Structure 1
């Protein structure tokens, strides 16, 4: 997708949202005067925001306010939150109100030679994806949706295990922000008390023995209502719950900078040292080793015991015919039902 997809949220509607983002009461007359709009245009903008899942309270005769304040993402504030080292490796930050998919956007830019280190964030994704083609539910402003493009001077086969390195880095960064009991589920899910908090999606292209590039996408639930999350087809949780604090106290730009920094450092280090330095961090965040699992590969289901992670990032499964390793597949942590 290209930047043009952001037109799904017109500039007028974004301008109204920026005024309301502080959570304070604003009269329709004041909004119209401030932005040079008609009262009808203001009303249409508020209707559009409601359609995006943004809850606007109407106080008859007094005005409008957001039910919860919203810190909108800002490229300048995010870059300012990065260390000098991360900024030096950065290829630019772009923020979109709405985009088809941050991963698809960067993969398209990569085809046209955009330098590595480019970061893309969106307040909302129209076609956000998880693994196996699943839809990633992303109400406007209720998640962190970001992708990072990185280039390597080795072939695509050398990327094995990169999603594990990225997951370990993100888990470590969230733990430093106060998220206790965070767990990693192979190959790229982050769980809290058994429920999905975040997921990673890696897409790569390149030559077998030449150069390659990769886009790593991160989707992190920040604050979802049950109604907004009704389409999620698995147990879920959001960061506000995991931190035990109101969503309004989560500084989205600061958190985005923290996670981008962690991903940039992980991508850079992986290029120099491979997966090895990340394995101890992964294992420290994997409470499922020794537990019964089922791995689904197409129409096949293999039952066994989670035996840990191999040096190349493959999943080790102890089955009735001995240990097997898997580079792909979907893991179920629930013991399979016996018939």
Structure 2
């Protein structure tokens, strides 16, 4: 296994988190290795009301994304999760996931990454390669948001190197210290309780929407549907134009057709 990070200093990480956290932390766990930071927090008692638990790991042996896909977590990257207490099933998980992606994209743009976009519902892309991803889960009274941000790409000999991944080191920015990156990612996740109305959230998301007015293919339970992406609705579902009919999808595997942008105006209405 390649070293996950060259500057893994738990004390510095905890200090950065405590000074930058926008929400009160009950417990911070800094691990050298775990199966996944989501699993680690889901296996423990939820924090008390209005507080969060946070777990960050140098590497994960079984990191994952949506639909059970593997998230490579043994090269240099930021891998963390936050958990909070819920009293019932999450009904706005899609919205929370999308707004977390927006906050992280905004923070990375401040660092100087201009060509960044969000592929609905949970992936951040730099140009045409995946830079970050996130996953929201719930078990009983514990809700967890996990985030992964690539710093470096996998080595050329790794199987995952065949996929279109990119790290911060390939974006041309001066990459911050590792503890600062962890604080940046954690800040995006810990603001999950922030109240954002639909109009504001839609406006902020539209600045990064990778799919808008592009020909996409939706794979939903083995059924493939070709349509044109048209933004999101109030439940953060993907809206698509299917031969003049607007449909909404809350889940599904999304791929972009090679023909890319349609002949329609690329500007998304706010």
Question: Do the two structures share a fold, i.e. TM-score over 0.5?
Answer: yes
Q: Does 1:238 align with 2:167?
A: yes
Return the alpha-carbon distance in structure 1 between the equivalents of residues 47 and 231 of structure 2: 37
Q: Is the 8 A contact 2:94 2:121 kept in 1?
A: no
Return the alpha-carbon distance in structure 1 between the equivalents of residues 124 and 229 of structure 2: 17
Gap runs ≥5 in structure 2: 260-270
Scaled by the length of structure 1, the TM-score of the pair is 0.69
Return the alpha-carbon distance in structure 1 between the equivalents of residues 221 and 162 of structure 2: 19
Return the alpha-carbon distance in structure 1 between the equivalents of residues 222 and 32 of structure 2: 39
Return the alpha-carbon distance in structure 2 between the equivalents of residues 293 and 280 of structure 1: 22
Secondary structure of 1:219's aligned partner: strand
How many residues matched? Answer: 257
Q: Is the 8 A contact 1:73 1:123 kept in 2?
A: no
Higher relative contact order (CA 8 A, sep 6+): 2
Return the alpha-carbon distance in structure 2 between the equivalents of residues 281 and 214 of structure 1: 24
* Structure 2 residue aligned with 1:149: 83
Match of 2:143 among 197, 214, 224: 214
* Structure 1 residue aligned with 2:7: 71
Scaled by the length of structure 2, the TM-score of the pair is 0.86
- Indicate the structure (1 or 2) with the bigger Cα radius of gyration: 1
Greater helix percent: which structure? 1
* Structure 2 residue aligned with 1:334: 257
Report matched runs for 1:1-339 at 5 Å.
52-54=1-3, 70-74=6-10, 76-82=11-17, 86=21, 89-109=24-44, 112-115=45-48, 116-140=51-75, 142-152=76-86, 155-206=89-140, 213-227=142-156, 229-232=158-161, 234-245=163-174, 250-265=176-191, 267-269=192-194, 272-273=195-196, 276-320=199-243, 322-335=245-258
Shift of 1:80: 2.8
Gap runs ≥5 in structure 1: 1-51, 56-68, 207-211
